[in-house]
Amino acid sequence: MLDFGYPTRMTQSMTVAVLGATGAVGQEFLRLFERRQFPVDELRLLASPRSAGHKMRFRDRDAIVEAVSPESFAGVDLAFFSAGASRSREYAPAAIAAGAIVIDNSSAFRMEPGVPLVIPEINLDAIGPADRLIANPNCTAIILLMAIAPLRTLGTIERVIVSTYQSASGGGAAVMQELEDQTRAVLDGREPEPRHLPHPYAFNLFSHNTPINADGLNEEEAKVIEESRKILGETNLRINVTCVRVPVLRAHTESITVEFSGVAPSEDEVRDVFGRAPGVILVDDRAANHFPMPREASGRAEVLVGRIRRDPSHPNAICLMASGDQLLKGAALNAVQIAERLMQAGRLDPVGLAGAG
């Protein structure tokens, strides 16, 4: 149990910190604050010493990146962490001790029993009144669960089988650049040079490059399985995941089969549920052969779902595809949505909203 024991602080103005500000997800936080008119009164951009002094644009002004230290969080009301698990472990206690609520995009605390792991559309109620550390799930898990959680109104999900088509953005800005650089090289007749990835990436694909455990699952697959179970509250949910990196820049796609404990819902029932579910958009036009694609999911808040059909191999199963922006709903947006829900619940009181709680 991670209970730091600090009471909710009522603030007169909201000071927001972003740890990992210069990364691919960090940059999305700044864009989302602007686009969603997120009530940032003071913004503190934090990163490793290597990035200190960098300028980033926010609301038409330059903001300077500072090197993170335990003292960085004095006066911070809300901190978004997106600088990897070890930095989260290092700085979350200091941020919470300084009075901040931390929404952590890393895997550091996700499976800690006392830490809520939250997708607002699915399990907002996992956040208790005293929680000051909230974990943002793995991007592949978020996109999967946005597509399958709404189906629980149609029956009990017994088993899920997923193969992923994961984009470069999951590896951060450096891997996105690596994909572009390697692709240029191949088009110019040169050899692609892997830098951060173990294999050539341009016009290639490979099983997700995280370590393989004794069961043969890579780390990404293990995360999807255990995080899905925690978020859905289904300890024994049966999940089969194959995580694969494909040469796409920034949205993840997933081919999903869902087996129900009873006869599967009809295609129309499934379409109807997706038509009403928050945060998803149905893209399912058979005549136009138009289904979820990463290019259309990129830059969008919603997860696209479609290609809905009966599984010809199982009477209780349906198949679908989902595509979601890995940097947005898969990362920064989900974290911002958590913060927005905390504000609505009076857990964070920015200037001007203080009276509304």
Q: Active-site residues: which are they? A: 139, 252
Is residue 128 within 8 A of residue 154, CB to CB? The reply is no
The smaller minimum CB distance to its own copies, of residues 31 and 310, is found at 310
Is residue 228 within 8 A of residue 159, CB to CB? The reply is no
Q: What does the alpha-carbon distance between residue 160 and residue 232 come to, in Å, rounded to a whole number? A: 13
Is residue 42 within 8 A of residue 13, CB to CB? The reply is yes
Q: Taking the complex as a whole, how short is the minimal distance between the CB of residue 287 and its own copies, in angstroms?
A: 8
Q: Taking the complex as a whole, how short is the minimal distance between the CB of residue 70 and its own copies, in angstroms?
A: 35
Instruction: State the residues that interact with its own copies by CB under 8 A.
Output: 159-161, 163, 165, 179-180, 183-184, 187, 198-200, 203-207, 209-212, 215-218, 225, 238-240, 242, 244, 246-249, 253, 255, 257, 267, 286-291, 293-295, 307-314, 317, 319, 321
The smaller minimum CB distance to its own copies, of residues 132 and 250, is found at 250
Task: State which amino acid sits at residue 278.
Answer: P
Residue bearing tokens 């958009």: 281
The smaller minimum CB distance to its own copies, of residues 101 and 317, is found at 317
Q: Longest Cα pair distance anywhere in the chain, in angstroms?
A: 63
Name the DSSP class of 287.
T
The smaller minimum CB distance to its own copies, of residues 196 and 295, is found at 295
Is residue 357 within 8 A of residue 349, CB to CB? The reply is yes
Q: Taking the complex as a whole, how short is the minimal distance between the CB of residue 105 and its own copies, in angstroms?
A: 24
Type and span of the H or E element at 317: strand 317-325
The smaller minimum CB distance to its own copies, of residues 144 and 348, is found at 144
Q: Taking the complex as a whole, how short is the minimal distance between the CB of residue 29 and its own copies, in angstroms?
A: 23
Q: What does the alpha-carbon distance between residue 209 and residue 123 come to, in Å, rounded to a whole number? A: 30
- Closest listed residue to residue 79, CA positions, set 7, 5, 137, 20: 20
Coil vs helix vs strand at 10:
coil
* Beta carbons within 8 Å of 249's beta carbon, 6+ residues apart: 167, 168, 169, 176, 179, 180, 294, 298
The smaller minimum CB distance to its own copies, of residues 79 and 283, is found at 283
Task: State which amino acid sits at residue 325.
Answer: D
The smaller minimum CB distance to its own copies, of residues 66 and 178, is found at 178
Q: Taking the complex as a whole, how short is the minimal distance between the CB of residue 172 and its own copies, in angstroms?
A: 17
Bridge-based pairing of strands 238-242 and 157-165 is parallel
Token readout for 279 is 């945060």
Q: How far is CA 43 from the centre of its chain?
A: 22
Q: Taking the complex as a whole, how short is the minimal distance between the CB of residue 193 and its own copies, in angstroms?
A: 13
Q: Taking the complex as a whole, how short is the minimal distance between the CB of residue 230 and its own copies, in angstroms?
A: 16
Is residue 223 within 8 A of residue 143, CB to CB? The reply is no
Is residue 136 within 8 A of residue 337, CB to CB? The reply is no
